[in-house]
């Protein structure tokens, strides 16, 4: 079933219509966070991609299923020098646990919770599933067994199981990095030390060596999974063997997505992913956001300046996802002003004049068509700005158009300015607790919290984008 949403496919190098191959729902996989630190706003820009896709498809009545992995084990840190990216043998989560002198799983859970809070702050739709790597070890081992049986993987002299890259003839279609162009030791897991058949082979199951934490027994000895196999295992298991749309940041094209494609295709013996779509990097005040340059900005930094976190969302929407945008504090402050102005106007427009249903339908279609064309959110925002000033449309009609547009934009344009002030203080904490309960699928606790909130006069409803609340009169 072809949808009317078109996105630029990195592998096909052209725009493609997104389809629901099983005729019922578009199956989406989006590479998730490695939970050893807080996601910065550049990471969150990538995670906004799946949200926009879901909102657009839902607006057209198309069902979706979104899976996003939580990497809590197996993601090795990189040494970046010149243009070389070399995976070192240090696990990101374990390294952080060591530096904080804490249990690695405690670290992972803490940052995972922070990640969900950030998503909520930006009104990013909740995925249907957030499988954790550490809880899907059996799925990964099963996939590795299949790859070995099919002659696509082997155990090296060092005990580690490697993918046999030369068995996958179309390696490089996503990024253009063909195997024959790759030099030994360049951008790969470990240096070539004789354990592998070919320098570009990558680890599926790493032998524990001296490592004692976050290791599991396996048919190939005690060890832990490689990062790339995680996404193959989870996407195929949670999306019934096929991915209609695979999302992720530009930096994941190679080697992560090339390796994932090789693994998944080798198991299902066809293209496991129909469309690969990538979001561009974010610059902050002209530089790449990174820990080493010291210009990392978190959602909480925006909130700490008394700016609505959704100002970030508006900034992102004012740039196409495939353009390398340069975010500045000035732009965030300007977006904050715009959002507040729109909310105030919405309030004053609500009951002013006659409602023109025809105009509402026509304008909603203009906005939806814009975003359906490779997420032209900039065009949608420009239309909103134009409508704000338009004098031939009644305020009441504008109010309705903004409400419809906000189903895609997700800027809470209908939020009452004074709403936050009227929430009982205790209720705020309970709402937070309930969000967390829902995310961890603790429905019993979530129902108890709903009842306690009702006692405080707060009615909670669950929607596609999370819980919303109202205060009883």
Q: Which residue's CB is nearer to Zn ion, number 231 or number 325? A: 231
> Do 187 and 254 meet the contact criterion of CB atoms below 8 Å apart?
yes
- Judged by DSSP in three states, 206 sits in strand
User: How many CB atoms within 10 Å of residue 320?
Assistant: 18
Q: Pick the stretch among 29-37, 264-272, 280-288, 371-379 that binds Zn ion (CB under 5 A).
A: 29-37
Quote the DSSP letter at residue 69: -
Site string for Zn ion, 71-100 (x = CB under 5 A): ------------------------------
Q: Which residue's CB is nearer to Zn ion, number 48 or number 231? A: 231
How many degrees, rounded to 5, is the angle at CA 422 between CA 419 and CA 427? 105
Closest CB 381 distance from Zn ion, rounded Å? 30
Q: Which residue's CB is nearer to Zn ion, number 20 or number 231? A: 231
Q: Pick the stretch among 7-15, 228-236, 431-439, 465-473 that binds Zn ion (CB under 5 A).
A: 228-236
Q: Pick the stretch among 6-14, 224-232, 296-304, 378-386 that binds Zn ion (CB under 5 A).
A: 224-232
**Tokens 């304008």 appear where?**
363
Q: Which residue's CB is nearer to Zn ion, number 31 or number 408? A: 31
User: How would you classify residue 410: left for phi > 0, otherwise alpha for psi between -120 and 50, otherwise beta?
Assistant: left
Q: Is 31 in the site for Zn ion (CB under 5 A)?
A: yes
The pair of three-digit structure tokens given for residue 460, joined into one six-digit string: 């909670």
Q: Pick the stretch among 27-35, 157-165, 322-330, 431-439 that binds Zn ion (CB under 5 A).
A: 27-35
Q: Which residue's CB is nearer to Zn ion, number 232 or number 467? A: 232
Q: Count H helices, E strands: the chain? A: 15, 17
Q: Which residue's CB is nearer to Zn ion, number 108 or number 408? A: 108
Closest CB 231 distance from Zn ion, rounded Å? 3
Q: Pick the stretch among 23-31, 104-112, 185-193, 345-353 that binds Zn ion (CB under 5 A).
A: 23-31
Q: Which residue's CB is nearer to Zn ion, number 158 or number 173? A: 173
Closest CB 73 distance from Zn ion, rounded Å? 14
Q: Pick the stretch among 26-34, 60-68, 299-307, 380-388 that binds Zn ion (CB under 5 A).
A: 26-34
Closest CB 177 distance from Zn ion, rounded Å? 17
Cβ partners under 8 Å of residue 271, min gap 6: 265
37 exposure class (CB count in 10 Å sphere: 0-12, 13-18, 19+): middle
Q: Is 231 in the site for Zn ion (CB under 5 A)?
A: yes
- Give the interface size with Zn ion as a residue count (CB under 5 A): 2
List beta partners, residue 279.
249
The pair of three-digit structure tokens given for residue 363, joined into one six-digit string: 């304008």
Phi, psi angles (nearest 5°) of residue 223: -175, -155
Q: Which residue's CB is nearer to Zn ion, number 31 or number 93? A: 31
Closest CB 274 distance from Zn ion, rounded Å? 16
Closest CB 448 distance from Zn ion, rounded Å? 35
CA pair distance 456, 472, nearest whole angstrom = 9
CA-based nearest residue to 409, from 436, 383, 439? 383
Residues in the chain: 473
> Do 258 and 188 meet the contact criterion of CB atoms below 8 Å apart?
no
- Residues near Zn ion (CB under 5 A): 31, 231
């Amino acid at each position: 079933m072809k949808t009317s949403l078109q996105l630029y496919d990195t592998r096909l190098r052209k725009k493609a219509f997104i389809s629901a191959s099983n005729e019922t729902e578009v199956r989406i996989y989006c590479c998730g966070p490695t939970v050893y630190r807080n996601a910065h706003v550049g990471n969150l820009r990538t995670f906004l991609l799946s949200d926009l896709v879901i909102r657009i498809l839902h607006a057209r009545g198309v069902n979706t299923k979104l899976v996003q992995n939580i990497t809590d084990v197996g993601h090795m840190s990189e040494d970046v020098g010149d243009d070389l990216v070399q995976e070192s043998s240090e696990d990101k989560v374990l390294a952080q646990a060591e530096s904080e002198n804490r249990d690695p799983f405690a670290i992972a859970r803490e940052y995972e919770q922070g990640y969900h809070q950030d998503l909520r702050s930006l009104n990013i739709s909740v995925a249907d599933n957030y499988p954790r790597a550490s809880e899907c070890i059996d799925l990964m081992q099963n996939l590795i067994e299949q790859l070995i049986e099919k002659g696509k993987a082997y155990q090296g002299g060092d005990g580690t199981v490697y993918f046999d890259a030369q068995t996958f003839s179309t390696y490089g279609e996503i990024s253009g990095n063909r195997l024959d162009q790759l030099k030994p030791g360049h951008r790969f897991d470990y240096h070539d030390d004789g354990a592998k058949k070919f320098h570009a082979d990558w680890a599926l199951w790493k032998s524990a060596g001296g490592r004692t934490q976050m290791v599991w027994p396996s048919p190939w000895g005690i060890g832990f999974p490689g990062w790339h196999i995680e996404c193959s295992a989870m996407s195929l298991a949670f999306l019934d063997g096929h991915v209609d749309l695979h999302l992720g940041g530009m930096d994941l094209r190679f080697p992560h997505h090339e390796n994932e494609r090789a693994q998944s295709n080798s198991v299902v013996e066809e293209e496991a992913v129909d469309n690969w779509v990538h979001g561009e990097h974010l610059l902050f005040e002209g530089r790449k956001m990174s820990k080493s340059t010291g210009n990392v900005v978190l959602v909480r930094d925006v909130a700490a300046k008394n700016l609505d976190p959704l100002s970030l969302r508006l900034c992102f929407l004012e740039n196409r996802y495939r353009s390398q945008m340069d975010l500045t504090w000035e732009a965030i402050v300007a977006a904050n002003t715009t959002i507040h102005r729109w909310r105030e106007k919405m309030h004053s427009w609500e009951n002013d004049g006659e409602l023109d249903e025809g105009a509402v339908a026509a304008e909603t279609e203009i906005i939806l068509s814009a975003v359906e064309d490779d997420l032209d959110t900039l065009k949608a925002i420009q239309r909103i700005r134009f409508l704000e000033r338009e004098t031939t449309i009644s305020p009441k009609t504008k109010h309705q158009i903004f409400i419809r547009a906000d189903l895609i934009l997700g800027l809470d344009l209908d939020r009452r300015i004074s709403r936050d002030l009227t929430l009982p203080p205790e209720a705020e904490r309970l709402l937070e607790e309930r969000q967390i309960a829902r995310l961890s699928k603790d429905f019993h606790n979530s129902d108890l919290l709903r009842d306690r909130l009702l006692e405080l006069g707060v009615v909670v409803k669950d929607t596609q984008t999370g819980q919303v609340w109202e205060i009883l009169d």
